[in-house]
Chains A and B, each alone.
Chain A
Amino acid sequence: AQKVTQAQTEISVVEKEDVTLDCVYETRDTTYYLFWYKQPPSGELVFLIRRNSFDEQNEISGRYSWNFQKSTSSFNFTITASQVVDSAVYFCALTPYNNNDMRFGAGTRLTVKP
């Protein structure tokens, strides 16, 4: 069975602070995909990133960066110099390579205060 755990229910930071959102996963599959999605207050889901389990390179996209460590089954997401517009619920998700039974974590609500 697969499971995604986002232990941080809510995080509050002040604008320009760096913040890391944790994601730990469990799976018996040797190949899988990991995702991060953003859900702003308007409610839609916005894709941020997909990683393959065989690609452990960290990724940076502007102020966003992701740290994938297979050894600790973690896929953490860091926002550098946070902005008010980053306020949202962020979801980590996992799907096996050979099917599409995607499992989401419970989400982390990030509030960035001015």
Chain B
Amino acid sequence: NAGVTQTPKFRILKIGQSMTLQCAQDMNHNYMYWYRQDPGMGLKLIYYSVGAGITDKGEVPNGYNVSRSTTEDFPLRLELAAPSQTSVYFCASSYSSGEQYFGPGTRLTVT
């Protein structure tokens, strides 16, 4: 099993550009999550999904959108990137409220 995979690993965006961060898991987990981690801080939940077609906002959803058309994939869309979105983004998955398995992260810089 590959576990949770994220692409790209690194990305530099200009202010106002858009992009999609990809996340996939092959563990047949029903729950998936997107977090951001700012330097020296803990993770903050952006969005989560409890199954295909169902998404919910987390603590810091503004500026982001998600969709969940399949169990395996949970892409995160940034529209009109801003410097405040410079962060490391982690995707995770879990079976119900159990242990969350994290991907390796995507380091995003917006300049």
Residues of chain A touching chain B, judged by Cβ–Cβ distance below 8 Å, are 4, 6, 33, 35, 43-45, 47, 50, 91, 93, 95, 97, 99-107
Q: A45-B90, A102-B33 are in contact. Are A97 and B97 (CB under 8 A)?
A: yes
User: Min CB distance, B57 to chain A, in Å?
Assistant: 9
CA distance A43 to B48 in the complex (A): 21
Seen from chain B, the residues whose Cβ lies within 8 Å of a Cβ on chain A are: 31, 33, 35, 40-45, 48, 50, 56, 58-59, 88, 90, 92, 94, 97-102, 104-105
- Cα-based distance from A93 to B58 in the complex (angstroms): 14
The answer to whether B44 touches A104 (Cβ under 8 A) is: yes
Bound: A103/B104 CA distance, A:
19
- Contact present for A43 and B98 (CB under 8 Å): no
**B45 to chain A: which residues have CB within 8 Å?**
101-103
Other CB < 8 Å A-B pairs besides A45-B90, A101-B56, A102-B33, 18 of them?
Answer: A4-B42, A33-B97, A43-B104, A43-B105, A44-B104, A45-B43, A45-B102, A99-B56, A100-B48, A100-B50, A100-B94, A101-B48, A101-B58, A101-B59, A102-B100, A105-B42, A106-B40, A107-B41
Chain A residues with CB under 8 A of B94: 100
The total of Cβ contacts below 8 Å across the A-B interface reads 54
13 contacts between A and B (CB under 8 A): A35-B99, A44-B102, A44-B104, A91-B42, A100-B31, A100-B33, A100-B48, A100-B94, A100-B97, A101-B45, A101-B56, A101-B58, A102-B100
Which chain A residues border B33 with CB–CB below 8 Å?
A: 100, 102
Is A95 within 8 A of B97, CB to CB? yes
Cβ distance A54 to chain B, nearest Cβ, rounded Å: 13
Closest residue on chain A to residue B57 by CB atoms: A101
